[in-house]
Amino acid sequence: MRQPGRYVAVPAVIPFKPRNPKSRLSCVLDQDERERFAQLMLCDVVVAAREAGCDPFILATEPFRFGETPVVLDDRGLNEALNDLLSRTPGPLLILMADLPLTTPDAIRRVLSTTADIAVVPGRGGGTNAIFLPRADRFRVSYYGASFRKHLKIAEEAGLSCKVVDSFRIHTDVDEKEDLVELLIHGEGLSRAYLEELGFSITIEKGRVGVERKREGSAQTP
């Protein structure tokens, strides 16, 4: 991005927890289903990153294979693992969360096209869903809680200019049942197809949009 005329794919790291992920979806998905669903969301993110011209790789908390996408194993906490990676990365790096199944190549390209020292996309509820660092070793991350504010502060303290990228596709992380509404309305990838396969659909009650799951063999709601 920084060398006109020379194109180098930006590495994109996607942290991933293979085992027992997305526990806040336990009310509608059992553990096997959550693991499969999380992998398919990851797949949607990997495909979007690749189409945007990135070289995605997975940072996994335990041994995990994911087709031909490289997997780096690191069983430390998210911040420790990522900050170690950043400190060893003098070039560009995109950090993308794995639960962003609405992400599109266009949205990622808007993140990568920043002319600031950092581009961030906030997640709903104060989190940080994407960070692009043209020079990764100048930054450190601090996830959990209101991480978006923390990341703006870290950038400011390091004297780095920061661009907040305005994308609902990257803003929308899928953690809870009501987030599935967004995926069923806007998703186009494997994770949305899996939800439909499991019997999920949109409901409208008193003008409010929700989701329901019709289980095989169970009575259909009218």
Please give the Cα distance from 122 to 113 (Å, whole number): 17
Q: Which is nearer to its own copies, 39 or 129 (CB)?
A: 129
Q: Answer yes or no: are the C-beta atoms of 162 and 120 closer than 8 Å.
A: yes
For residue 210, what are the β-bridge partners? 203
HSE-up of residue 39 (Cα within 13 Å, Cβ side) = 13
* Contacting residues for 174 by C-beta, under 8 A, at least 6 apart: 22, 25, 41, 99, 100, 101, 180, 182, 183, 191
Total Cβ atoms within 10 A of residue 126: 12
Q: Which two tokens stand for residue 172?
A: 């929308």
Q: Which is nearer to its own copies, 91 or 126 (CB)?
A: 126
Give the 3-state secondary structure of residue 166: coil
Q: Which is nearer to its own copies, 119 or 136 (CB)?
A: 119
Binding site for its own copies (CB under 8 A): 104, 106-107, 110, 121-122, 124-127, 144-146, 148-149, 166-169, 171-172, 178, 181-182, 185-186, 202, 204, 207-209
For the bound state, the minimum distance from the C-beta of residue 5 to its own copies, rounded and expressed in Å, comes to: 28
Q: Which is nearer to its own copies, 124 or 214 (CB)?
A: 124
For the bound state, the minimum distance from the C-beta of residue 130 to its own copies, rounded and expressed in Å, comes to: 12
For the bound state, the minimum distance from the C-beta of residue 151 to its own copies, rounded and expressed in Å, comes to: 12
Please give the Cα distance from 214 to 222 (Å, whole number): 11
For the bound state, the minimum distance from the C-beta of residue 171 to its own copies, rounded and expressed in Å, comes to: 4
Q: Which is nearer to its own copies, 63 or 222 (CB)?
A: 222
For the bound state, the minimum distance from the C-beta of residue 9 to its own copies, rounded and expressed in Å, comes to: 23
Please give the Cα distance from 47 to 71 (Å, whole number): 15
